[in-house]
DNA sequence: ATGGTGGGTTCCCCA
Protein backbone atom coordinates (compact mmCIF):
# COMPACT_ATOMS: atom_id res chain seq x y z
CA UNK A 1 0.00 0.00 0.00
CA UNK A 2 1.48 3.34 -0.96
CA UNK A 3 0.30 6.93 -0.99
CA UNK A 4 1.88 9.64 -3.12
CA UNK A 5 1.59 13.41 -3.14
CA UNK A 6 2.45 15.70 -6.04
CA UNK A 7 1.93 19.38 -6.71
CA UNK A 8 1.63 19.13 -10.49
CA UNK A 9 1.38 22.88 -11.23
CA UNK A 10 -1.47 22.41 -13.75
CA UNK A 11 -2.64 18.86 -14.36
CA UNK A 12 -3.53 19.47 -18.01
CA UNK A 13 -0.14 20.99 -18.80
CA UNK A 14 1.52 18.09 -16.96
CA UNK A 15 -0.35 15.25 -18.69
CA UNK A 16 2.52 14.29 -21.06
CA UNK A 17 4.68 13.60 -18.02
CA UNK A 18 1.95 12.78 -15.54
CA UNK A 19 0.37 9.81 -17.34
CA UNK A 20 3.65 7.92 -17.93
CA UNK A 21 4.60 8.57 -14.30
CA UNK A 22 1.23 7.19 -13.14
CA UNK A 23 1.61 4.08 -15.31
CA UNK A 24 5.12 3.46 -14.09
CA UNK A 25 4.55 4.06 -10.37
CA UNK A 26 0.89 3.06 -9.97
CA UNK A 27 0.48 4.42 -6.43
CA UNK A 28 -2.58 3.08 -4.60
CA UNK A 29 -3.51 6.64 -3.65
CA UNK A 30 -2.25 9.85 -5.25
CA UNK A 31 -2.96 13.30 -3.85
CA UNK A 32 -2.60 16.16 -6.34
CA UNK A 33 -2.34 19.89 -5.74
CA UNK A 34 -2.49 22.88 -8.07
CA UNK A 35 -4.55 20.99 -10.61
CA UNK A 36 -5.63 24.42 -11.94
CA UNK A 37 -8.70 23.00 -13.65
CA UNK A 38 -12.45 23.28 -13.05
CA UNK A 39 -14.19 19.99 -12.35
CA UNK A 40 -15.99 19.96 -15.73
CA UNK A 41 -12.64 20.02 -17.56
CA UNK A 42 -10.79 17.55 -15.31
CA UNK A 43 -9.06 14.99 -17.59
CA UNK A 44 -10.92 12.12 -15.98
CA UNK A 45 -11.16 9.58 -18.81
CA UNK A 46 -7.38 9.23 -19.25
CA UNK A 47 -6.97 8.73 -15.51
CA UNK A 48 -9.93 6.37 -15.17
CA UNK A 49 -8.54 4.36 -18.09
CA UNK A 50 -5.35 3.98 -16.07
CA UNK A 51 -7.42 2.27 -13.37
CA UNK A 52 -8.17 5.09 -10.93
CA UNK A 53 -11.17 6.46 -9.09
CA UNK A 54 -11.09 10.24 -8.79
CA UNK A 55 -12.35 12.85 -6.34
CA UNK A 56 -11.65 16.41 -7.40
CA UNK A 57 -12.21 19.91 -6.14
CA UNK A 58 -11.03 22.52 -8.60
CA UNK A 59 -11.42 26.10 -9.70
CA UNK A 60 -10.40 28.22 -12.65
CA UNK A 61 -6.72 29.20 -13.06
CA UNK A 62 -5.53 28.67 -9.47
CA UNK A 63 -5.34 26.04 -6.73
CA UNK A 64 -7.38 22.85 -7.11
CA UNK A 65 -6.85 19.48 -5.40
CA UNK A 66 -7.70 15.89 -6.26
CA UNK A 67 -7.41 12.38 -4.87
CA UNK A 68 -6.84 9.43 -7.19
CA UNK A 69 -7.18 5.91 -5.83
CA UNK A 70 -7.28 2.38 -7.16
CA UNK A 71 -9.98 1.58 -4.60
CA UNK A 72 -13.19 3.59 -4.05
CA UNK A 73 -12.87 6.94 -2.28
CA UNK A 74 -15.50 7.18 0.47
CA UNK A 75 -16.78 10.04 2.65
CA UNK A 76 -15.26 12.78 0.49
CA UNK A 77 -14.98 16.22 2.11
CA UNK A 78 -14.27 19.36 0.10
CA UNK A 79 -13.06 22.58 1.68
CA UNK A 80 -13.50 23.75 5.27
CA UNK A 81 -16.92 23.70 6.95
CA UNK A 82 -18.57 27.06 6.39
CA UNK A 83 -16.62 27.90 3.24
CA UNK A 84 -18.71 29.71 0.65
CA UNK A 85 -18.55 28.68 -2.99
CA UNK A 86 -15.95 31.35 -3.78
CA UNK A 87 -13.49 29.98 -1.23
CA UNK A 88 -10.16 28.84 -2.67
CA UNK A 89 -10.15 25.13 -3.47
CA UNK A 90 -7.31 23.81 -1.32
CA UNK A 91 -8.70 20.94 0.73
CA UNK A 92 -10.05 17.51 -0.18
CA UNK A 93 -10.30 14.46 2.03
CA UNK A 94 -11.66 10.94 1.91
CA UNK A 95 -11.35 7.40 3.16
CA UNK A 96 -9.66 4.74 1.03
CA UNK A 97 -9.54 1.20 2.35
CA UNK A 98 -8.65 1.71 6.03
CA UNK A 99 -6.78 4.99 5.46
CA UNK A 100 -8.16 8.39 6.29
CA UNK A 101 -6.61 10.79 3.78
CA UNK A 102 -6.56 14.58 3.83
CA UNK A 103 -4.96 16.36 0.88
CA UNK A 104 -3.93 20.02 1.28
CA UNK A 105 -2.59 22.87 -0.79
CA UNK A 106 -1.53 25.34 1.89
CA UNK A 107 -1.39 28.97 0.72
CA UNK A 108 2.05 30.16 -0.39
CA UNK A 109 1.98 33.34 1.68
CA UNK A 110 4.11 35.46 -0.65
CA UNK A 111 6.15 37.35 1.96
CA UNK A 112 5.95 38.08 5.66
CA UNK A 113 3.78 41.08 6.47
CA UNK A 114 1.81 40.84 3.22
CA UNK A 115 -1.96 40.29 3.02
CA UNK A 116 -1.25 36.85 1.54
CA UNK A 117 0.85 35.95 4.57
CA UNK A 118 -2.02 36.98 6.83
CA UNK A 119 -4.29 34.75 4.73
CA UNK A 120 -1.86 31.84 5.08
CA UNK A 121 -1.69 32.17 8.87
CA UNK A 122 -5.49 32.42 9.18
CA UNK A 123 -5.87 29.43 6.86
CA UNK A 124 -3.49 27.35 8.99
CA UNK A 125 -5.51 28.17 12.11
CA UNK A 126 -8.70 27.18 10.28
CA UNK A 127 -6.98 23.95 9.28
CA UNK A 128 -5.96 23.19 12.86
CA UNK A 129 -9.50 23.71 14.11
CA UNK A 130 -10.98 21.62 11.29
CA UNK A 131 -8.56 18.74 11.78
CA UNK A 132 -8.92 18.88 15.55
CA UNK A 133 -12.75 18.86 15.39
CA UNK A 134 -13.32 16.37 12.62
CA UNK A 135 -10.65 13.70 12.86
CA UNK A 136 -9.87 10.91 15.29
CA UNK A 137 -6.14 10.66 15.89
CA UNK A 138 -6.46 7.04 16.96
CA UNK A 139 -7.23 6.26 13.29
CA UNK A 140 -4.70 5.46 10.60
CA UNK A 141 -4.58 8.89 9.03
CA UNK A 142 -2.37 10.67 6.52
CA UNK A 143 -2.44 14.43 6.06
CA UNK A 144 -0.39 15.18 2.98
CA UNK A 145 0.14 17.76 0.27
CA UNK A 146 2.01 20.98 -0.40
CA UNK A 147 2.38 22.69 2.99
CA UNK A 148 4.55 25.56 1.74
CA UNK A 149 6.41 25.35 5.09
CA UNK A 150 9.76 23.80 5.98
CA UNK A 151 9.93 22.01 9.33
CA UNK A 152 13.46 23.15 10.14
CA UNK A 153 16.73 24.34 8.58
CA UNK A 154 17.59 20.87 7.29
CA UNK A 155 14.78 21.40 4.77
CA UNK A 156 16.31 24.62 3.40
CA UNK A 157 19.15 25.03 0.86
CA UNK A 158 20.35 28.29 2.41
CA UNK A 159 19.12 28.55 6.01
CA UNK A 160 21.07 31.75 6.73
CA UNK A 161 20.03 33.49 3.53
CA UNK A 162 16.39 32.47 4.05
CA UNK A 163 16.27 33.15 7.80
CA UNK A 164 12.67 34.25 8.60
CA UNK A 165 11.85 34.27 4.89
CA UNK A 166 8.61 32.84 3.48
CA UNK A 167 8.36 29.03 3.89
CA UNK A 168 11.01 29.19 6.66
CA UNK A 169 9.76 31.72 9.18
CA UNK A 170 9.11 31.10 12.88
CA UNK A 171 5.37 31.92 12.73
CA UNK A 172 4.84 29.45 9.88
CA UNK A 173 6.83 26.71 11.60
CA UNK A 174 4.99 27.34 14.87
CA UNK A 175 1.62 27.10 13.11
CA UNK A 176 2.67 23.76 11.63
CA UNK A 177 4.04 22.59 14.99
CA UNK A 178 0.68 23.40 16.59
CA UNK A 179 -0.99 21.08 14.09
CA UNK A 180 1.62 18.36 14.71
CA UNK A 181 0.87 18.63 18.45
CA UNK A 182 -2.61 17.25 17.78
CA UNK A 183 -0.88 13.89 17.35
CA UNK A 184 0.95 13.84 14.04
CA UNK A 185 4.49 12.93 12.96
CA UNK A 186 6.67 13.94 10.00
CA UNK A 187 6.72 10.66 8.04
CA UNK A 188 9.97 11.30 6.19
CA UNK A 189 11.92 11.89 9.39
CA UNK A 190 11.07 8.39 10.63
CA UNK A 191 13.41 7.11 7.94
CA UNK A 192 15.80 9.96 7.09
CA UNK A 193 17.51 12.44 9.41
CA UNK A 194 19.81 14.15 6.94
CA UNK A 195 19.58 17.67 5.57
CA UNK A 196 19.11 18.47 1.88
CA UNK A 197 16.08 16.30 1.09
CA UNK A 198 14.07 18.71 -1.03
CA UNK A 199 10.72 18.36 -2.80
CA UNK A 200 10.57 21.73 -4.58
CA UNK A 201 13.01 23.76 -6.66
CA UNK A 202 12.07 27.10 -8.23
CA UNK A 203 11.69 27.09 -12.01
CA UNK A 204 13.80 30.24 -12.06
CA UNK A 205 17.53 30.57 -12.07
CA UNK A 206 18.39 26.93 -12.65
CA UNK A 207 17.54 26.20 -9.01
CA UNK A 208 17.27 22.45 -9.55
CA UNK A 209 20.71 22.13 -11.10
CA UNK A 210 22.17 24.19 -8.26
CA UNK A 211 20.12 22.09 -5.84
CA UNK A 212 18.63 25.21 -4.32
CA UNK A 213 15.50 23.51 -3.01
CA UNK A 214 13.13 23.25 -0.08
CA UNK A 215 11.27 20.37 1.54
CA UNK A 216 7.69 21.65 1.69
CA UNK A 217 5.65 18.59 0.61
CA UNK A 218 4.99 16.40 3.61
CA UNK A 219 3.33 13.32 5.05
CA UNK A 220 1.83 13.98 8.48
CA UNK A 221 1.01 10.64 10.09
CA UNK A 222 -0.95 9.60 13.15
CA UNK A 223 0.70 7.09 15.51
CA UNK A 224 -0.78 4.04 13.80
CA UNK A 225 0.07 5.35 10.31
CA UNK A 226 3.61 6.12 11.46
CA UNK A 227 3.97 2.63 12.86
CA UNK A 228 3.05 1.00 9.54
CA UNK A 229 5.07 3.46 7.44
CA UNK A 230 7.86 1.45 5.78
CA UNK A 231 9.41 4.18 3.62
CA UNK A 232 9.08 7.75 2.37
CA UNK A 233 10.81 8.40 -0.95
CA UNK A 234 11.26 11.65 -2.90
CA UNK A 235 11.20 11.11 -6.67
CA UNK A 236 13.86 13.62 -7.78
CA UNK A 237 13.88 12.16 -11.29
CA UNK A 238 10.52 13.82 -11.91
CA UNK A 239 12.16 17.25 -11.72
CA UNK A 240 14.60 16.55 -14.55
CA UNK A 241 14.24 17.56 -18.18
CA UNK A 242 11.60 19.57 -20.01
CA UNK A 243 8.04 19.95 -18.82
CA UNK A 244 8.61 19.19 -15.15
CA UNK A 245 6.53 20.65 -12.32
CA UNK A 246 8.52 22.66 -9.80
CA UNK A 247 7.53 20.04 -7.19
CA UNK A 248 8.34 16.33 -7.33
CA UNK A 249 6.21 13.42 -6.13
CA UNK A 250 6.79 12.03 -2.66
CA UNK A 251 5.74 8.42 -2.07
CA UNK A 252 5.02 6.86 1.33
CA UNK A 253 4.76 3.08 1.59
CA UNK A 254 2.79 1.30 4.34
CA UNK A 255 3.01 -2.31 5.42
C1' DA B 1 24.69 37.21 -9.56
C1' DT B 2 18.05 40.82 -6.10
C1' DG B 3 17.87 37.82 -11.67
C1' DG B 4 15.24 34.29 -13.72
C1' DT B 5 10.90 30.42 -15.59
C1' DG B 6 6.49 28.46 -16.19
C1' DG B 7 1.37 28.29 -16.04
C1' DG B 8 -3.09 30.38 -16.96
C1' DT B 9 -9.90 30.10 -21.17
C1' DT B 10 -3.28 35.31 -19.80
C1' DC B 11 -2.19 41.08 -22.07
C1' DC B 12 -1.09 40.52 -15.47
C1' DC B 13 -1.18 37.52 -11.59
C1' DC B 14 0.61 33.76 -9.11
C1' DA B 15 4.24 30.69 -7.63
Q: Is A62 a catalytic residue?
A: no
| Cβ A30 vs Cβ A4: under 8 Å | yes
Give the residue numbers spanning the domain of A187.
Answer: 2-254
| Cβ A249 vs Cβ A5: under 8 Å | yes
Q: What angle do CA A150, A22, A95 make, to 5 degrees?
A: 70
Question: What digits encode the pLDDT tens for the residues A161-177?
Answer: 999 999 999 999 999 99
Count of structural domains within chain A? 1
Q: Is A146 a catalytic residue?
A: yes
Q: Which nucleotide is nearest to A61 (CA to C1')?
A: B8
**Burial bucket for residue A40 (CB in 10 Å: 0-12, 13-18, 19+):** exposed
A44 CB-to-strand B distance under 7 Å: no
Question: What digits encode the pLDDT tens for the residues A23-55?
Answer: 999 999 999 999 999 999 999 999 999 999 999
A228 CB-to-strand B distance under 7 Å: no
A17 CB-to-strand B distance under 7 Å: no
| CATH code, domain carrying A226 | 3.60.10.10
Looking only at the bridges linking them, the beta strands covering A2-7 and A29-33 are parallel
Q: Which nucleotide is nearest to A247 (CA to C1')?
A: B15
pLDDT of residue A93: 98
- Closest to A156 in 3D by CA, of A108, A209, A200: A200
Task: State the distance between the two ends of chain A, measured CA to CA, in whole angstroms.
Answer: 7
Amino acid sequence: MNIATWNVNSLRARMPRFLPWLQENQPDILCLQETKVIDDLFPRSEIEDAGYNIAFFGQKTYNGVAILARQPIEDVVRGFPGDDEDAQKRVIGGIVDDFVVLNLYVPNGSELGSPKFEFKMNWLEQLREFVSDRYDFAEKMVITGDFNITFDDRDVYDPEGLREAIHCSTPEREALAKIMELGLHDGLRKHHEEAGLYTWWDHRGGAFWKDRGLRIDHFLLTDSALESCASVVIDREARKGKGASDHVPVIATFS
